[in-house]
Amino acid sequence: MFEDRAFGARADRPGLRAALDYAREGDVLITWKLDRLGRSLPHLIETVSALERRGVGSAP
């Protein structure tokens, strides 16, 4: 389990970074809410696209 305990649009989110680095093809990254994957809509789209390219699913 990976966790970040911060509020706002912080760029340094070590828990998210560790989860993204750990995820492998066939894994599914589950988040409390979809908006927790990105600081903004463009960042969210970029993150989900990067996961999909690596064969990692995501679920809110």
Q: How does pLDDT run across 24-59, given as a tens digit for each residue?
A: 999 999 988 888 888 889 999 999 999 999 999 988
Determine if the pTM surpasses 0.85.
Answer: no
Rounded (5°) CA angle 25-27-33: 130
Alpha carbon distance 11, 3 (integer Å): 15
Q: Give the SS3 label for residue 23.
A: coil
> Which residues on neighbouring strands pair with residue 55, listed in sequence order?
none
Each domain of the chain, given as residue ranges in start order, spans 24-59
pLDDT at 13 over 90: no
